[in-house]
A and B are shown apart, each in its own frame.
Chain A
Amino acid sequence: MIVLASIIDSFTGAFDFIFHSREAVTGGGVPVGGPAYIWPFARTQLEVTAVALGGALAVGMPIGLILGHIGKGEFLAVGFGNAGRAVPEIAVIFLLASLIGIGLGNVAIALGILGLPPVLTNTYVAMRQVDPTAVQAARGMGMRSWQVILRVELPLAAPTIMAGVRTAAINIFATATVASFVGLSTLGDFVTQPAVYGNDGVVAGAIVIAVLAGLIEAALAGVQWLVTPRGLKLARASRSA
């Protein structure tokens, strides 16, 4: 019961931090908290997520599409992709800090590396699992390779590719909290600086990050639904019926 009470307590304090301004724990009449205060941090985190995700898509999708189309390079697409997941993000960020310096470029590259594996692996796998009879039919109709990729394989692979994009987006957004240590003020500030924002700020930061991650997930799920060809939806509906 005591645990429950303290959890409720910390949430009450956190919501107060989200909606109302207050003095920093370190004093001096410095105001912190409230929507207008928190928004710039959230915006920075969304911006860096967008840039990093864009980079991961720009690099990962073409490679995945081509390798998947020709049916080669499974080791590269899947193995390399999985190995990429084991890279410690914070180490990459600090390594880049001493190589190229701090700021948006550093964080976007590091987070792009984080987003690459799910995009690359899912694109490759999605291309491989496209029904070969559809591809053969397209070839039979006289389509060129790029037409097969863009007009047959890509639409049919889209749902699985989007699943990878969703994973990448959530990974990137959640990890963008560490950008606070290399020159970008993201929501990670609140989570990592209890000395200034107090425990209310820590929990508030976690809540805002979780809510935004949920919104990103929901928005991309909507995109996934939109890019899924009607035929696939019909096929699923008839199977489950």
Chain B
Amino acid sequence: MLERGYGVMRGLRLRGAFAILLAAVLAVGIAACGSSSDTTGGTDTSASSSDSDNLIQSNPDNGKTTLTIGSKNFTEEYILGEIYAQGLEAAGYNVKTKLNLGSEQIALKAIKDGQISGYPEYTSTALGSLYGVPADQIPANAEEAYAQAKAKLAKDDVTAFSPTPFADSNAVGLLTSTAEKNNLTDISDLKGVSQDMVLAGSPECRERIDCLVGLEKNYGLQFKKFTPVDIGLRYTVLDKGDADLSIVFTSDAQLANSEKYTVLKDDKELIPSGNVIFIASKKVAEDAGPDFRDTIEQVQGNLTLPVIRELNSRVDIDKEKPADVAHDYLQQSGYIK
């Protein structure tokens, strides 16, 4: 306690304090310097001749039509946007790109406003996010999901082309060592072991019927704990041992050529199907002629899960440019020379 004698003070000398604070001005500049490596594409002479019947033929009539291909702003969308754009260019169209649309809402509006001709969208996202279909009513079956999305989009005068072979869906991922130790291949196999396992997923997973809630209800599983994490950490939590199971995406770059991680099969079809459909304004699709649809459905023909994982990994992990990766894919598939 303060002694009586010190009681009367002259108060705080605030001006001095401010002088000190003002005098200390320190700027910390944190510059994120990403060095972009310029790969000199086009020198690859290994184009195979056997695929020559796949080659996209340039139609001079298409030169009159200008198409603007959009995409959302993440790796897989950039690559898909480039694949479609370069394919359509090979078919003779005048192609522009707008490959950084922030969200599906923005992208759909851009189609309606005529700012873009079309962009690649996921069936599950189209149904859930654009049309508010509850997660438990989005089909896990790819064909059904496509049919539903196509019907919804048609009401908005938007045409949906055929889905890609691959589906980018949520999945339960884990270290292969954990899977082998517990003999796990399907999600159902988790019964009896999951109560000792920590599941990590994005915060919204906890209340989603197509995520934690569905795993508990439909599969009858119990987990030791659910840990919410940012999707950027979905593999980190497995690597650090913070979680035994993690919600991942089936087309993740980390799953390309890697024995490290395993994805469990959704044997009860809980998780909505996420095949990609190219969606375009109905009017643009009609005006552009049959080559528009044909080219798009042709160039996505080889996009199986291993292929898209590899393409994602070349951009995400090897830091190649989406345009170069798309070009290589089209060339190796024999669609362009």
- A30: chain B residues within 8 A (beta carbon): 207-209, 213
By beta carbon, the residue of chain B nearest A79 is: B24
Whether B203 pairs with A189 at a CB distance below 8 angstroms is yes
A234 interface neighbour in B8, B26, B134, B204, Cβ under 8 Å? B8
B20 within 8 A of A: yes
Given contacts A134-B6, A232-B11, A235-B9, contact A182 B28 (CB under 8 A): no
Cβ-defined contact, A185 with B233, below 8 A: no
- Whether A69 sits at the interface, judged by CB under 8 Å, is no
Which residue among B8, B135, B204 has the maximum number of chain A CB atoms within 10 Å of its CB?
B204
Whether B143 sits at the interface, judged by CB under 8 Å, is no
Q: How far is the CB of B128 from chain A (nearest CB, A)?
A: 8
Across the two chains, which residue of chain A brings its CB closest to B239? Answer: A98
**CB of B52 within 8 Å of the partner chain:** no
Complex Cα–Cα for A75 and B227 (A): 41
Check if A28 sits within 8 Å of B6, measured CB to CB: no
Q: Does B228 contact A (CB under 8 A)?
A: yes
**Contact call B134/A26, Cβ cutoff below 8 A:** yes
A87 on interface, CB distance cutoff 8 Å: yes
Number of A-B contacts (CB under 8 A): 156
Contact of A181 among B28, B136, B208, B230 (CB under 8 A): B230
Q: Indicate whether A86 reaches chain B with its CB closer than 8 angstroms.
A: yes
Range of interface residues on B (Cβ < 8 Å)? 35 or more
Contact among A28, A103, A236 with B242 in the assembled complex (CB-CB below 8 Å): A103
- In the bound complex, do residue A183 and residue B135 qualify as a contact, i.e. CB atoms below 8 Å apart? no
For residue A150, give the distance in angstroms from its CB to the closest CB of chain B: 11
Return the chain B residue nearest A80 by Cβ.
Answer: B26
Complex contacts, B217 vs chain A, CB 8 Å: 28
B310 at the interface (CB under 8 A from A): no
Docked pose: A160 CA to B134 CA in angstroms? 53
Q: Given A129-B13, A230-B2, A236-B11, 17 more contacts at CB 8 Å?
A: A26-B208, A27-B137, A30-B207, A30-B209, A32-B207, A74-B20, A83-B26, A94-B233, A98-B236, A151-B3, A159-B12, A181-B203, A185-B203, A195-B129, A196-B204, A232-B11, A235-B11
In the assembled complex, 18 residue pairs joining A and B whose CB atoms fall closer than 8 Å, in A order, are: A24-B209, A26-B204, A27-B137, A30-B207, A78-B21, A86-B27, A88-B30, A98-B240, A102-B236, A102-B240, A125-B21, A128-B17, A131-B9, A182-B229, A188-B203, A193-B203, A196-B206, A235-B10
